[in-house]
Amino acid sequence: MIKFYSPASIGNVGVGFDVLGAAIAPIDGSFLGDIVTISPSKTFQLINKGMFSNQLPIKTNNNIVWKCWKYFCSLLKKNLPITIILEKNLPIGSGLGSSACSVVASITAMNAHFENPIKKTELLLLMGKLEGKISGSIHYDNVAPCFLGGLQLIINKNNIICQKLPIFKNWLWIIAWPGIKIATSEARTMLPMQYSKEICIEHSRYLAGFVHALYTKQPSLASQLMNDVIAEPYRIKLLPNFLKIREETKKIGAIGCGISGSGPTIFVISDNLNTAKKIKTWLNKNYLQTKKGFIHICKIDTLGTRQIG
Protein backbone atom coordinates (compact mmCIF):
# COMPACT_ATOMS: atom_id res chain seq x y z
CA MET A 1 0.00 0.00 0.00
CA ILE A 2 1.19 3.52 -0.83
CA LYS A 3 -0.29 6.88 0.20
CA PHE A 4 0.32 10.37 -1.22
CA TYR A 5 -0.85 13.82 -0.16
CA SER A 6 -1.23 16.80 -2.53
CA PRO A 7 -1.70 20.32 -1.14
CA ALA A 8 -4.22 22.98 -2.11
CA SER A 9 -2.97 25.85 -4.23
CA ILE A 10 -3.70 29.47 -5.12
CA GLY A 11 -3.89 29.95 -8.88
CA ASN A 12 -2.96 33.35 -10.35
CA VAL A 13 -1.83 34.67 -6.92
CA GLY A 14 -3.68 37.81 -7.97
CA VAL A 15 -1.01 39.52 -10.04
CA GLY A 16 -0.14 36.57 -12.31
CA PHE A 17 -3.17 35.37 -14.26
CA ASP A 18 -2.46 31.78 -15.42
CA VAL A 19 1.31 32.23 -14.84
CA LEU A 20 1.67 32.20 -11.04
CA GLY A 21 0.64 29.52 -8.59
CA ALA A 22 1.40 28.84 -4.92
CA ALA A 23 1.00 25.67 -2.85
CA ILE A 24 -0.32 26.35 0.64
CA ALA A 25 -0.22 24.60 4.02
CA PRO A 26 -2.16 25.48 7.20
CA ILE A 27 0.20 26.55 9.98
CA ASP A 28 -1.59 24.24 12.43
CA GLY A 29 -0.18 21.23 10.55
CA SER A 30 -3.51 19.97 9.21
CA PHE A 31 -3.89 18.66 5.68
CA LEU A 32 -5.59 21.02 3.22
CA GLY A 33 -5.60 18.86 0.12
CA ASP A 34 -6.41 15.41 -1.24
CA ILE A 35 -4.95 12.07 -0.16
CA VAL A 36 -4.75 9.06 -2.48
CA THR A 37 -4.00 5.53 -1.27
CA ILE A 38 -3.17 2.72 -3.72
CA SER A 39 -2.96 -1.00 -3.02
CA PRO A 40 -2.70 -4.10 -5.23
CA SER A 41 -5.99 -5.61 -6.41
CA LYS A 42 -7.33 -8.24 -8.79
CA THR A 43 -9.69 -5.71 -10.39
CA PHE A 44 -9.84 -1.92 -10.49
CA GLN A 45 -11.70 -0.34 -7.59
CA LEU A 46 -12.24 3.30 -6.66
CA ILE A 47 -13.37 4.21 -3.16
CA ASN A 48 -14.32 7.79 -2.35
CA LYS A 49 -14.18 9.17 1.18
CA GLY A 50 -13.45 12.47 2.89
CA MET A 51 -15.39 15.61 3.79
CA PHE A 52 -16.26 16.52 0.20
CA SER A 53 -16.66 13.05 -1.35
CA ASN A 54 -20.40 13.72 -1.74
CA GLN A 55 -19.51 16.30 -4.43
CA LEU A 56 -17.88 13.66 -6.65
CA PRO A 57 -19.65 12.06 -9.64
CA ILE A 58 -21.72 9.00 -8.82
CA LYS A 59 -20.50 7.08 -11.88
CA THR A 60 -16.91 5.87 -11.48
CA ASN A 61 -15.93 6.60 -15.09
CA ASN A 62 -16.88 10.27 -14.60
CA ASN A 63 -14.45 10.59 -11.71
CA ILE A 64 -11.17 12.37 -12.57
CA VAL A 65 -9.24 9.70 -10.64
CA TRP A 66 -10.66 7.00 -12.89
CA LYS A 67 -9.67 9.08 -15.92
CA CYS A 68 -6.15 9.36 -14.51
CA TRP A 69 -5.96 5.59 -14.06
CA LYS A 70 -7.33 4.95 -17.56
CA TYR A 71 -4.80 7.32 -19.12
CA PHE A 72 -1.96 5.84 -17.09
CA CYS A 73 -2.91 2.36 -18.34
CA SER A 74 -2.91 3.59 -21.95
CA LEU A 75 0.57 5.08 -21.52
CA LEU A 76 1.95 1.80 -20.18
CA LYS A 77 -0.15 -0.14 -22.71
CA LYS A 78 -1.49 -2.59 -20.16
CA ASN A 79 -4.35 -3.02 -17.73
CA LEU A 80 -3.25 -2.17 -14.20
CA PRO A 81 -5.67 -3.55 -11.59
CA ILE A 82 -5.42 -1.55 -8.34
CA THR A 83 -7.62 -0.26 -5.56
CA ILE A 84 -7.58 3.53 -5.21
CA ILE A 85 -8.94 5.32 -2.17
CA LEU A 86 -9.52 9.03 -2.78
CA GLU A 87 -9.85 11.12 0.37
CA LYS A 88 -11.49 14.26 -1.00
CA ASN A 89 -10.67 17.05 1.44
CA LEU A 90 -11.06 20.00 -0.95
CA PRO A 91 -14.43 21.28 -2.19
CA ILE A 92 -14.99 21.24 -5.93
CA GLY A 93 -15.24 24.66 -7.57
CA SER A 94 -13.59 26.37 -4.61
CA GLY A 95 -10.68 28.11 -6.34
CA LEU A 96 -8.14 26.02 -4.42
CA GLY A 97 -7.08 23.70 -7.23
CA SER A 98 -9.39 20.85 -6.24
CA SER A 99 -9.24 18.98 -9.55
CA ALA A 100 -5.49 19.55 -9.83
CA CYS A 101 -5.11 18.11 -6.34
CA SER A 102 -6.88 14.87 -7.28
CA VAL A 103 -4.95 14.57 -10.56
CA VAL A 104 -1.53 15.18 -9.02
CA ALA A 105 -2.08 12.89 -6.04
CA SER A 106 -3.43 10.09 -8.25
CA ILE A 107 -0.77 10.24 -10.96
CA THR A 108 2.09 10.55 -8.44
CA ALA A 109 0.79 7.64 -6.35
CA MET A 110 0.25 5.41 -9.40
CA ASN A 111 3.70 6.17 -10.75
CA ALA A 112 5.29 5.36 -7.39
CA HIS A 113 3.23 2.19 -6.98
CA PHE A 114 4.44 0.88 -10.35
CA GLU A 115 8.08 1.84 -9.60
CA ASN A 116 8.24 5.15 -11.48
CA PRO A 117 7.95 4.20 -15.17
CA ILE A 118 7.31 7.89 -16.07
CA LYS A 119 9.92 10.61 -15.50
CA LYS A 120 9.14 13.60 -13.28
CA THR A 121 9.12 16.15 -16.14
CA GLU A 122 6.83 13.94 -18.19
CA LEU A 123 4.52 13.54 -15.20
CA LEU A 124 3.94 17.27 -15.02
CA LEU A 125 2.97 17.40 -18.72
CA LEU A 126 0.59 14.51 -18.16
CA MET A 127 -0.96 16.20 -15.12
CA GLY A 128 -1.52 19.42 -17.05
CA LYS A 129 -3.25 17.54 -19.85
CA LEU A 130 -5.56 15.68 -17.48
CA GLU A 131 -6.41 18.74 -15.40
CA GLY A 132 -7.18 20.57 -18.64
CA LYS A 133 -9.92 18.04 -19.35
CA ILE A 134 -11.75 19.41 -16.30
CA SER A 135 -11.27 23.16 -16.76
CA GLY A 136 -11.42 23.14 -20.57
CA SER A 137 -7.83 24.19 -21.31
CA ILE A 138 -4.32 23.18 -20.25
CA HIS A 139 -2.79 25.42 -17.62
CA TYR A 140 -0.29 24.70 -14.88
CA ASP A 141 -0.81 27.38 -12.23
CA ASN A 142 -2.44 24.85 -9.90
CA VAL A 143 -0.83 21.62 -11.09
CA ALA A 144 2.79 22.81 -10.89
CA PRO A 145 2.76 24.16 -7.31
CA CYS A 146 0.60 21.26 -6.16
CA PHE A 147 3.16 18.79 -7.54
CA LEU A 148 6.42 20.66 -6.87
CA GLY A 149 5.50 22.98 -3.98
CA GLY A 150 6.42 26.63 -3.48
CA LEU A 151 5.54 29.64 -5.59
CA GLN A 152 5.83 28.71 -9.26
CA LEU A 153 6.19 30.90 -12.34
CA ILE A 154 4.72 29.09 -15.35
CA ILE A 155 7.07 29.22 -18.36
CA ASN A 156 5.73 26.40 -20.59
CA LYS A 157 8.36 26.89 -23.28
CA ASN A 158 10.80 24.36 -24.79
CA ASN A 159 9.81 21.67 -22.26
CA ILE A 160 10.42 24.05 -19.33
CA ILE A 161 7.05 24.10 -17.60
CA CYS A 162 7.83 26.24 -14.55
CA GLN A 163 10.43 27.82 -12.32
CA LYS A 164 10.29 28.17 -8.52
CA LEU A 165 10.35 31.75 -7.23
CA PRO A 166 11.67 33.07 -3.91
CA ILE A 167 9.10 33.67 -1.15
CA PHE A 168 8.77 35.82 1.94
CA LYS A 169 8.76 33.24 4.73
CA ASN A 170 7.03 35.56 7.19
CA TRP A 171 4.01 36.10 4.94
CA LEU A 172 0.87 34.37 6.18
CA TRP A 173 -1.92 33.60 3.74
CA ILE A 174 -5.41 33.62 5.25
CA ILE A 175 -7.55 31.41 3.01
CA ALA A 176 -11.35 31.83 3.20
CA TRP A 177 -13.78 29.59 1.32
CA PRO A 178 -17.36 30.86 1.90
CA GLY A 179 -18.98 27.48 1.28
CA ILE A 180 -20.31 28.09 -2.24
CA LYS A 181 -19.18 26.83 -5.64
CA ILE A 182 -17.95 28.63 -8.76
CA ALA A 183 -16.99 26.54 -11.78
CA THR A 184 -13.70 27.51 -13.42
CA SER A 185 -15.27 27.28 -16.88
CA GLU A 186 -18.06 29.65 -15.80
CA ALA A 187 -15.62 32.14 -14.29
CA ARG A 188 -13.57 32.16 -17.50
CA THR A 189 -16.58 33.09 -19.62
CA MET A 190 -16.81 36.35 -17.67
CA LEU A 191 -13.44 37.55 -18.97
CA PRO A 192 -13.23 39.67 -22.14
CA MET A 193 -11.84 38.14 -25.32
CA GLN A 194 -9.53 41.12 -25.85
CA TYR A 195 -7.74 43.65 -23.62
CA SER A 196 -6.53 47.14 -24.42
CA LYS A 197 -2.85 47.89 -24.89
CA GLU A 198 -2.92 49.97 -21.71
CA ILE A 199 -4.21 47.06 -19.62
CA CYS A 200 -1.59 44.69 -21.08
CA ILE A 201 1.19 47.14 -20.25
CA GLU A 202 -0.17 47.64 -16.74
CA HIS A 203 -0.40 43.87 -16.17
CA SER A 204 3.18 43.37 -17.40
CA ARG A 205 4.42 46.13 -15.12
CA TYR A 206 2.77 44.65 -12.03
CA LEU A 207 3.87 41.07 -12.74
CA ALA A 208 7.46 41.94 -13.66
CA GLY A 209 7.72 44.28 -10.66
CA PHE A 210 6.35 41.61 -8.32
CA VAL A 211 8.88 39.00 -9.49
CA HIS A 212 11.67 41.61 -9.22
CA ALA A 213 10.56 42.42 -5.65
CA LEU A 214 10.72 38.74 -4.71
CA TYR A 215 14.30 38.37 -5.95
CA THR A 216 15.45 41.65 -4.40
CA LYS A 217 13.72 40.87 -1.08
CA GLN A 218 11.39 43.88 -1.03
CA PRO A 219 8.17 42.63 0.63
CA SER A 220 6.58 46.10 0.81
CA LEU A 221 7.05 46.64 -2.93
CA ALA A 222 5.81 43.11 -3.69
CA SER A 223 2.60 43.64 -1.73
CA GLN A 224 1.95 46.99 -3.44
CA LEU A 225 2.28 45.36 -6.86
CA MET A 226 -0.22 42.54 -6.21
CA ASN A 227 -2.88 44.08 -8.44
CA ASP A 228 -4.99 41.94 -10.74
CA VAL A 229 -6.17 43.97 -13.74
CA ILE A 230 -6.96 40.91 -15.88
CA ALA A 231 -9.55 38.81 -14.00
CA GLU A 232 -10.51 40.48 -10.74
CA PRO A 233 -12.44 43.46 -12.21
CA TYR A 234 -14.79 41.03 -13.95
CA ARG A 235 -15.02 38.28 -11.32
CA ILE A 236 -15.71 40.35 -8.22
CA LYS A 237 -19.42 40.28 -9.05
CA LEU A 238 -19.31 36.53 -8.29
CA LEU A 239 -17.88 37.15 -4.82
CA PRO A 240 -20.01 38.65 -2.05
CA ASN A 241 -18.75 42.07 -0.90
CA PHE A 242 -15.19 41.50 -2.11
CA LEU A 243 -14.25 45.19 -2.31
CA LYS A 244 -15.57 45.79 1.20
CA ILE A 245 -13.61 42.79 2.46
CA ARG A 246 -10.41 44.16 0.92
CA GLU A 247 -11.00 47.54 2.52
CA GLU A 248 -11.87 46.16 5.97
CA THR A 249 -9.02 43.62 6.14
CA LYS A 250 -6.60 46.35 5.13
CA LYS A 251 -7.81 48.40 8.11
CA ILE A 252 -7.02 45.42 10.34
CA GLY A 253 -3.50 45.25 8.92
CA ALA A 254 -3.58 43.09 5.78
CA ILE A 255 -0.86 43.81 3.21
CA GLY A 256 -2.64 42.12 0.31
CA CYS A 257 -5.94 40.57 -0.74
CA GLY A 258 -7.05 38.73 -3.86
CA ILE A 259 -9.17 36.01 -5.44
CA SER A 260 -7.77 32.49 -5.27
CA GLY A 261 -7.97 31.06 -8.79
CA SER A 262 -11.48 31.57 -10.13
CA GLY A 263 -12.92 32.02 -6.63
CA PRO A 264 -14.97 32.06 -4.51
CA THR A 265 -12.05 31.44 -2.12
CA ILE A 266 -10.14 34.62 -1.33
CA PHE A 267 -6.68 35.06 0.16
CA VAL A 268 -5.58 37.81 2.51
CA ILE A 269 -1.88 38.31 3.29
CA SER A 270 -0.42 39.38 6.62
CA ASP A 271 3.15 39.53 7.91
CA ASN A 272 2.08 39.25 11.55
CA LEU A 273 0.42 36.27 13.27
CA ASN A 274 -1.71 38.32 15.66
CA THR A 275 -3.00 40.38 12.74
CA ALA A 276 -3.67 37.19 10.77
CA LYS A 277 -5.76 35.84 13.64
CA LYS A 278 -7.80 39.07 13.77
CA ILE A 279 -8.38 38.87 10.00
CA LYS A 280 -9.48 35.24 10.35
CA THR A 281 -11.99 36.20 13.05
CA TRP A 282 -13.37 39.05 10.93
CA LEU A 283 -13.70 36.86 7.83
CA ASN A 284 -15.42 34.17 9.87
CA LYS A 285 -18.15 36.67 10.74
CA ASN A 286 -18.35 38.48 7.42
CA TYR A 287 -17.45 36.12 4.54
CA LEU A 288 -18.62 32.59 5.30
CA GLN A 289 -22.06 31.80 3.87
CA THR A 290 -22.59 28.17 4.89
CA LYS A 291 -21.54 25.92 7.76
CA LYS A 292 -19.24 24.04 5.37
CA GLY A 293 -17.16 27.16 4.72
CA PHE A 294 -13.72 27.34 6.28
CA ILE A 295 -10.82 29.67 6.98
CA HIS A 296 -7.17 28.66 7.42
CA ILE A 297 -4.06 30.65 8.24
CA CYS A 298 -1.47 29.21 5.88
CA LYS A 299 2.13 29.49 4.77
CA ILE A 300 3.59 28.53 1.41
CA ASP A 301 3.93 24.74 1.19
CA THR A 302 7.48 24.21 -0.07
CA LEU A 303 7.23 20.41 -0.30
CA GLY A 304 4.38 19.85 -2.72
CA THR A 305 3.07 16.34 -3.24
CA ARG A 306 4.67 13.78 -0.95
CA GLN A 307 4.32 10.29 0.42
CA ILE A 308 2.78 10.07 3.89
CA GLY A 309 1.82 7.39 6.39
Is 101 annotated as ligand-binding? yes
Cα separation, 73 vs 290, in Å, equals 40
3-state class (DSSP) for residue 194: coil
Whether residue 18 contacts residue 151, with contact meaning beta carbons closer than 8 Å, is answered with no
For residue 283, count other CB atoms closer than 10 A to its CB.
22
Cα separation, 87 vs 9, in Å, equals 17
Measure Cα distances from 3 to 39, 72, 96, 131, 248 in Å.
9, 17, 21, 21, 41
Is 309 annotated as ligand-binding? no
Backbone angles phi, psi at 287, to 5 degrees: -125, -30
Measure Cα distances from 209 to 226, 250, 258, 260 in Å.
9, 21, 17, 20
Is 94 annotated as ligand-binding? yes
Is 64 annotated as ligand-binding? no
Cα separation, 226 vs 244, in Å, equals 17
Is 92 annotated as ligand-binding? yes
Sequence-distant (6+) residues with CB within 8 A of 125 are 161
Is 7 annotated as ligand-binding? no
Q: Show binding-site residues for ATP.
A: 91-101
Q: Show binding-site residues.
A: 91-101
